Amino acid sequence: MEDKNYSSDSPIHEQEQDRFSRWSFSERVAQVISKRSDPSSIVIGLYGIWGDGKTSVLNFIEKSLDSDENVICIKFNPWRFGAEEELLTGFFFDIADALDAELIKTGDKLKDFVKKAAPGAGAIMGAKGAGDAFGSFISGPDINELKKRIENELEKAQRRVLILIDDVDRLEKTEIHALFRLVKLTADFKYTSYILAFDKDVVAASLQDRYSSTAENAGEAFLEKIIQVPLHLPAVEKQVLREFCFQGVDEAINIAGITLSQQQVQEFVRNFSSAFDDCLTTPRKAKLYGNTLMFSLPILQGEVNPVDLMLLEGIRVFCPSLYGVLRVNKSLFTGTFRDSYYSNNDNEKDHIKNLVNDALDVGKNINKAGFIELLKNMFPKLQSVYGNMSYGSDWYEKWNNGQRICSENYYSRYFTYAIPRGDISDHAIQALSDESEKWGVELDRESNPLNEILTPASSETLIKKLRHKSGEISATASIALAVAITQKSDEISNPEVLYSWTTPFSQAAMLVSDLIQNVPKPDRTDLAKKCIDTAPILGFKLEIFGWLKREDENKPEKDVFSEASIDEIGKHLGKVIADELKDQKDITLLAPTSIPTIFYTLNKFVEKGYVNDYVDELILKDPESLIRIIDSYVPTAWGMETGVSHKSDFKRDQYNSLTSELDASTVLSAIEMYFPQAMKVSDDFPRLYDDDAEKGLLFLKQFVWLHQYVIRESEDTENESDEKA
């Protein structure tokens, strides 16, 4: 975006540029100065806060006097000078040069005279204070003669000199005092007028510091002695300021190529008016807000919610202290209070209130109620901080889809003006979806279009974003994406966690299932088989099959796989697994965490009893494989405090699950033959301890104990039946 798109903050000069009805005011001031018949000087104070348009009014005054031969305008800029000595001498020579150019025709002589006087001023200023030094300087004989000549020429010409001094309130305190001393000491020039533009409160406070040991209102009193005509800038109506501000907003939106719905426009205007109206105090504030949007909207176009961004930028411009709180407290403002029963929620709510309250107290012209209402709308979590409304986790997907700032997946983008490391832009996701239409299904690993974007580090973000968008992806793109993702499934992160379905690995299988659902129903079975064949690892083949959407008598759905289709796909998967095992592969080493699912698939879809035959042969080759089989059925437990995982015990549920696929007699015979020590069990169930080095042997003992218990249980049941008979 080019710089010319930004709305300049420079003061204006022409009447047609006047948006705030200041031209007539300026013209009136100019006419008073021009038509004044009294030859004595006059000092006018033009009061207004920073950004209120004082410089523009000075420009208007000068412009309206352009054609008036009775007045010479001199702009004296205090910012040109560093030290006080430069400020004082610069002021005098600016006047002398202007008079020389406009009034005195024999200028060389006067210029030499002025230059001759200048060195003496520097010597005096080096020895005395600035005010005293200048007083001595202008009271010297040479300077008095110069003043007389200038005054004589002014009186002869009957022309007035108007000296415009801007930005007085931006000088250092010592410079402010020196400037007012200067005006006081030179105010006896005839036919000379001064207009000093500044923030009255700022300058009065600076002068007060100078007179800190005197009366409380010493600064105000000093100003009253110097300023003979105090003028305040005409106030700008709030509606006019708001329209001016919204013009900048419209321009920023158009440049960014953003189209807002009517609902979004209403949402923005309602929130803006509620929170920012009182902050919109000057044209500069309004212009600053528009320029801020001119920068941020194009950078984040399509990557965030535009209304949220516009409102956040409003907070940044009008209440920087609150923006600072939001920027570093992501966890406090995203998501919801997930568990209202946790007592620490009250502590967190109080903490949020205190942070917000302190930040709003620091701001200027802040409508607290309006800002809090804005925050509640931007961050729904705060509805339960300032009221009783709460949101459940089911809203997370809606906030994600809306790219809302309250979503923890989008929050950081609003503050970095970029896609955070590890994240993937929504534009990239959209491009991926669009481009995949052309990929086809016959992809090879080396040329897979996902090679650059799908890595172990990026897999979680990519899969999550594609899942959110999966319902919008076309059938053609869905086929290509399903195959491409499956082909790279061995590079998808699969950490050990408490809930395995939350891993990117399982989420990727869910994504493939979602994409398969986007395909016309007659083609889905073949696509599912294609993905199973394409997956480079057995674990993902099983995950795909496990997450296919099935008929459920309790939840009847029309758009799912029929029982017949699932059976067809299951048989295909069973054959794939069986073919792998024909090569004499050890399943306990090939897919150690998937053994229960593999055993179930083989028995159900290949042949009942397949697992018994396979395990018999496997144990003959490697008896230790029996321990690995039982270990695969043992659940993983997680320490609540440490978060560290460890194997739990082999219990009745695991015994039932294993023996439903593998005959208990097969396992028991193998234990008796290869691990006889595990047959000796006590009456008490063998327990696993964290420091137990022989966990595998212990799992075997637990199997034996449970098997004996089941036999006794069965015998007791038979005896009870006989007694009843």
3-class DSSP state of 152 = helix
Q: What is the model's pLDDT at position 1?
A: 35
Task: State the average pLDDT over residues 251-269.
Answer: 92
Q: How confident is the model at residue 595 (pLDDT cuts 50, 70, 90)?
A: very high
Q: Tell the residue number behind the tokens 């709460």, with chain if given.
A: 390
pLDDT at 135: 44
CA dist 472 and 481 (Å) reads 13
Confidence at 477, pLDDT banded by 50, 70, 90: very high
Distance CA 502, CA 670 (A): 37
User: Sorting pLDDT into bands at 50, 70 and 90, what band is 217?
Assistant: confident
Question: Per-residue pLDDT averaged across 404-420, rounded?
Answer: 88
Question: SS3 of 660, please?
Answer: coil
- On the question of pLDDT at 491 being above 80, the answer is yes
Confidence grade of residue 514 (pLDDT, cut at 50, 70, 90): very high
DSSP 258: -
Q: What is the mean pLDDT of the segment spanning 297-306?
A: 92
Domain 21-232 CATH superfamily: P-loop containing nucleotide triphosphate hydrolases (3.40.50.300)
> In whole angstroms, how large is the CA radius of gyration of the chain?
42
The alpha carbon of residue 350 and the mean position of all alpha carbons in its chain are separated, in whole angstroms, by 23
**DSSP secondary structure string, 511-556?**
HHHHHHHTS-HHHHHHHHHHHHHH-SSHHHHHHHHHHS-B--TTS-
Q: Please say if the pLDDT value at position 267 is more than 70.
A: yes
Least confident window among 12-26, 434-448, 566-580? 12-26
Asked if pLDDT for residue 96 goes beyond 70, the answer is no
d(CA 175, CA 125): 14
A 10 A CB-CB count for 653 gives: 10
Q: According to the model, what pLDDT value does residue 132 have?
A: 45
pLDDT at 220 over 70: yes
Percent of the chain with pLDDT over 70: 80
Reported as a single tens digit per residue, the pLDDT across 98-131 is 665 443 444 444 444 444 444 433 333 333 343 4
Give residue-wise pLDDT tens across range 416-447: 887 777 788 888 888 888 888 888 888 888 88
The answer to whether the beta carbons of residues 544 and 513 sit under 8 Å apart is yes
Pair 577, 602: CB distance under 8 Å: yes
Q: Tell me how many degrees the CA angle 254-258-264 measures, rounded to the nearest 5.
A: 110
pLDDT at 342 > cutoff 60: no
131-149 confidence digits (pLDDT tens): 444 444 444 434 456 556 6
pLDDT (average), residues 698-719: 88
Task: Give pLDDT, residue 114.
Answer: 45
Mean pLDDT across 528-554: 91
**Amino acid code (one letter) for 420:** P
The per-residue pLDDT for 107 is 45
Mean pLDDT for 590-594 is: 90
- pLDDT tens for each residue of 376-389: 999 999 999 998 88
The answer to whether the CB of 485 falls within 8 A of the CB of 501 is: no
Give residue 714's pLDDT. Answer: 85
Region 693-717: what's the mean pLDDT?
A: 88
pLDDT of residue 11: 66
**CA dist., res. 511 & res. 518, Å (int):** 11
**pLDDT confidence of 599, banded at 50, 70, 90?**
very high
Query: What is the rounded average pLDDT of the residues 533-541?
Result: 95
Q: Which burial class, exposed, middle or buried, applies to 715 when counting CB atoms under 10 A from its CB (0-12, 13-18, 19+)?
A: exposed
pLDDT at 452: 84
The DSSP element (H or E) to which 382 belongs, if any, is none
Query: Vertex 364, ends 51 and 203: CA angle to 5°?
Result: 55
For residue 540, pLDDT over 80 is answered with: yes
Grouping H, G, I as helix, E, B as strand and the rest as coil, residue 157 is: helix
Top mean-pLDDT range of 10-14, 178-182, 625-629: 625-629
Sequence letter at residue 448: N
Q: At what angle do helices 320-327 and 306-318 cross, to 10 degrees?
A: 130
Cβ within 8 Å of residue 449, ≥6 positions away: 435, 436, 439, 443, 484
pLDDT digits (tens, 9 = 90+) for 652-666: 999 999 999 999 999
Residues 6 or more apart whose CB falls under 8 angstroms from that of 244 comprise 19, 20, 283, 286, 287
Q: Are 311 and 384 in contact (CB under 8 A)?
A: no
pLDDT (average), residues 297-314: 94
Highest mean pLDDT among 176-185, 188-197, 271-280, 443-452: 271-280
Q: How many beta carbons lie within 10 A of that of residue 626, not counting itself?
A: 25
Q: Grade residue 470 by pLDDT with cuts at 50, 70 and 90.
A: confident
| Residue in the structure block whose two tokens are 């930004």 | 6
What pLDDT score does 154 carry?
62
pLDDT confidence of residue 287: 85
- Among 226-230, 337-341, 558-562, which is the least confidently predicted range? 337-341
* Residue bearing the bigger pLDDT, 482 or 126: 482
For 338, the 3-state DSSP assignment is coil
pLDDT of residue 389: 87
